[in-house]
Amino acid sequence: MTVNIPLLEASGIQKSYGATRALAGVNFDIGRGEVVALVGENGAGKSTLGKILAGATEMDEGTVSVNGMPVSFHSTKDALDHGVAIVLQEFNLIPEMTVAENLFLTRPTGYRWGWWKTRKSQVDQASKAIADAYMDFGIDPEALVSELSVAQQQIVEIIRSLSVDAQLFILDEPSAALGRRETDSLLQLIRRLRDDGRSVIIVTHRLDEVYAVADRIFVLRDGIARGEFDPASTSTDELVAAMVGRALDKEMHEARTIQTPGDAVLTVDKLVVQGSSSECSFQVRRGEIVGVAGLVGSGRTELIRAIFGADPAVSGTVVLGGTTGVIRSPLAAVRAGAAMVSEDRKQLGLHTALTIHDNVVLSYLAKYGKFWLNRKKLDADVAQQVDDLRIKIGGSWLDAGVLSGGNQQKVVLAKWLLSKPELLILDEPTRGIDVGARAEFYRVVDDLVAQGMAVLMVSSEMPEVLALSDRVLVMSKGAIVTELSREEATEERILSFTEVMAAA
């Protein structure tokens, strides 16, 4: 009788961070040529389990075996030596090096006799790796990583990990920064890996991806395994209920409280950003959300960064908080009443080595005194933000780096809300946030808008753009090609503008 031994099997996995229990005796396995989706709310333990299985984090207790043999991973290299590779949610690229150098930095094929291969050989290999993944999307192998968009960096991270000779790939939120076309290419790549007999664990909050590629769904909640599900016989409602332990109010994913907007908080007039010759003009008024849609590389992020003063604009005018002209720095934008939640929380939103408490108050310490800080008021405000946003923590004095991605994003939002901005700029605000936390996030934004705040939002999540936006600006090649009202905006109509203009 033939016994099918799992490719990887984990038993009794336990992990804690201080008083926070991340995993409590989790058992997990995956077979050869299988795709398993690992799902759950933020803080459920998904990323922690994936990192333990790939050697990026050491467990407190438990056992792991590969091909029936016990293993002990103390690093990702140990795991890779046993055929297990991981794409981490946090980027691990070196910004000052080229794409080609990053792709082969830790791989013997990038070297000859201990030295880098010739630049041409290196670039040729990188071009082949990108082509083989069918995920080029304008990525130049000779470009510095620092010159790439977050979405392009995500693709490079994926290609680097998936181009190694491994039998099991663990993908932690691989599509978090990707648009529709890039995500479709990623899902095709996962299917090809499965067809080749390799296995994939995908950690994702996007349930459409789960149903598109998963053979099996493994649900975690509060660090405890809550069951395994067959995608073919499990509805979305059943899966969400298992993930969050309750039924969600669908209305929060489909609509918000619509009201009559007030006067303009932000006026952008003929603004031209770096790398574009197109002029962008629009307004954002009190009590409304203006969404910005477009394909990766359409100029969405470049536009809002120029408005916030994070990148220089070529020309044009920004009217905000009584100031007129191009905003020269984020400090000037904050003083004018703006706040921006960046798409890259690790690099631009958080100090992961600082505590949650210190991160929350970082943007507005002056509120608590010019010389002596009012610690009582400060601590009370931090506690209120943690409570309002339902940030899952073991204590506000833990380092922000130990939080799940979604809870880190909530800390970034809490930091800005303390400054009470008139304009809130959101760049991919729910990147890495689960379905339950998204509903909470939508409620927070809806409440802020109801109080008169103006919101400018960039999102690759088309349902999110349609659900939250009063108006949608559609961008392509650095230009606003059309503006659609809430009633006019549909996914098909937005895509028709973006894809036609991109092909022109």
Q: Taking residues 453-477, what's their average pLDDT?
A: 90
At 306 the three-state DSSP class reads: helix
Find all residues with CB under 8 Å of 197, minimum gap 6, and list them. Answer: 32, 33
Number of residues assigned to the chain:
504
Mean pLDDT for the stretch of residues 196-215:
91
Q: Which domains does the chain have, with CATH numbers?
A: 8-247 (3.40.50.300), 249-337+422-504 (3.40.50.300), 349-420 (no CATH)
Closest to 221 (Cα-Cα) out of 440, 395, 447, 49: 49
**pLDDT tens readout for residues 211-244:** 999 999 999 988 999 999 999 999 988 888 888 7
User: Residue 281 and residue 317: Cα distance in Å, rounded?
Assistant: 9
pLDDT surpasses 80 at 110: no
**Listed range (108-112, 118-122, 232-236, 338-342) with the worst mean pLDDT:** 108-112
pLDDT at residue 401 in the model: 67
pLDDT of residue 3: 47
Distances (CA, A) of 89 to 157, 177, 204: 9, 10, 10
283 pLDDT band (50/70/90 cuts)? very high
Mean pLDDT of 437-453: 84
Higher pLDDT among residues 303 and 275, named by residue: 303
Average pLDDT of the chain is 83
Percent of residues, the chain, with pLDDT higher than 90: 34
Is residue 485 predicted with pLDDT exceeding 60?
yes
pLDDT for 9 equals 96
Task: Give 330-377 pLDDT, tens digit per residue.
Answer: 889 988 999 998 876 666 667 666 777 777 777 666 566 566 666 777
Q: Quote the percentage of the chain above a pLDDT of 70.
A: 85
d(CA 324, CA 357): 35
How many CA atoms, within 13 angstroms, populate the side-chain half-sphere of residue 384? 9
Comparing 310 with 491, which gets the higher pLDDT?
310
pLDDT (tens digit, 9 = 90+) per residue, 10-19?
Answer: 999 999 987 7
Query: How confident is the model over 479-497, as a mean pLDDT?
Result: 87
CB of 287 within 8 A of CB of 309?
no
Q: What is the pLDDT of residue 252?
A: 43
Query: In sequence order, which residues have a C-beta less than 8 Å from that of residue 295 and are 6 or more positions away?
Result: 179, 180, 181, 476, 498, 499, 502
Among residues 87, 90, 84, which one has the least CA distance to residue 30? 84
pLDDT band at 2 (very low <50, low <70, confident <90, very high): very low
pLDDT of residue 66: 95
Q: How far apart are CA 410 and CA 389, in angstroms?
A: 7
Q: What is the pLDDT of residues 28-48, one digit of tens each?
A: 999 999 999 999 877 788 989
pLDDT of 433 > 60? The answer is yes
